[in-house]
Each structure stands twice: as C-alpha cells, then as structure tokens.
Chains A and B, each alone.
Chain A
C-alpha cells in the first residue's frame, strides 16, 4: 500500500529554521517525483515545487524559489521541505504528494499534511 506520512505539527518563532518531512512507503521511492503544496488558512492550493529522489533534481515555483529548499534522502525514503528563516506568512498547512504513474503530473497519493504555525 502506497503511503506518504508527514511529520507533526510545528510551532516556531519568526527567524527560526524548520525542516518538515514526508516518508514514502509501499512503492519505489526513487522513481516518482514528490511535490509540495501549501494551503494557507482558508485559502486555495499553491504548488511550491518538487523533487525527484532518484537524482535529487529539484524544481521550484517562481513564487517559492529562494525561500524554501526541497530535498530527499533515498536511504530513508523521505522527502523534505525546509526554511532557513521563517516568517509569520509561512503559517500554513503543507502537503506532500506523489506524482503518479499517469505521466500527466497528477498527484495520486497525498500525505496527511503538516501544520506550521509561525508566531512570536
């Protein structure tokens, strides 16, 4: 069974760093892109970027380029989303999702989400 399990709720202060995770299981982790999606409170879905664990190739939305880093560790089948210096505006739910078999870039499996709150 394909599963993406994300790390838990985070409460951080502005300026702090953070790395959240997404552990894949039940499939060949290195051969599927993993994407990250932001959802701010009461708002829509925003595509942030994606990583190909097979070679660590990462692509970013222009809106998020330079603000976050997306990476993967094949040895523990885990993808990551990290910030060096959080802002209050980073408060949101973050989802990881697998880019599936269709070749269309669709996300067929999703993590449960990680809620990040940034507040002084």
Chain B
C-alpha cells in the first residue's frame, strides 16, 4: 500500500493570504495525485487533477505542483468561501487512497 502524509492537519489564515498544503507519498507516484475540497454536509469537489491541472470551473487562485513523492496545493489569495477540508488522493496503480485531510479555517 502507498502511504500518504498530508500536512498540516489544520491551519488558520486570513482573507488574502497565500496558503499551501503538502502531501507526501511513501513511494513515487509520478503525477497521479489529485486534490479535493469538501465543505460540511457536501460531497467532495475535484480541484486539481494529475498534480497540476486545474479542473474546469475551479477558480484560478487554486494551483497544484509536484511529482514523484512530494506535492503541494496552493491557494494564492484566500477567500472566505475557501473554508473547507482539503484532501489529496493518489491514483497510482489500481489501489487508490486519500490523505488524512487538512482543515482550513478563515480567521
């Protein structure tokens, strides 16, 4: 199994801040890494696929980077509606898995 370590587990930031969330995998997964946003009571929403590709309809303040074992989700200018839990997901091979999640709070 590929182990995933997402950090931080929670963070608090102000509107307009630049924030980053990292995801590390236990083995190289090339760019088979996706990012999701989940708000309370809702299904997750795809933000970034294949490490750095912005899903259609997602604001351009969201971006992703990385390859191999280290990946980053960045929000360039935090907005109030970005308060949510963010998950990374590896899809290397035929057994996928999610990171533990990062709870993002707006100050």
Contacts and interface: CB of A to CB of B under 8 A. Distances in A.
A61 B93 CA distance: 12
A90 B97 CA distance: 18
B34 A105 contact: yes
B14 to A, nearest CB: 25
B81 interface: no
15 contacts: A37-B44, A44-B87, A45-B87, A45-B101, A47-B95, A47-B96, A47-B97, A60-B95, A97-B43, A102-B49, A104-B32, A105-B32, A105-B96, A107-B36, A108-B55
Interface of A: 35, 37, 44-47, 50, 59-62, 95, 97, 100, 102-108, 110-113
B72 interface: no
Nearest to B96: A47
Contact of B1 (A62, A100, A102): A62
Contact of B43 (A50, A95, A104): A95
B31 interface: yes
B43 A47 contact: no
B65 interface: no
Interface of B: 1, 31-32, 34, 36, 38, 43-46, 49-50, 53, 55, 85, 87, 89, 91, 94-101
Contact of B44 (A62, A102, A107): A107
A89 B105 CA distance: 29
Contacts, number: 74
A5 to B, nearest CB: 12
Given A35-B96, A44-B100, A45-B101, A110 B49 contact: no
Contact of A104 (B45, B50, B101): B50
B43 A113 contact: yes
From B46, B96, B99, residue with most partner A Cβ within 10 Å: B96
A106 B87 contact: no
A2 to B, nearest CB: 12
Nearest to A109: B46
Nearest to A99: B91
A59 B50 CA distance: 21
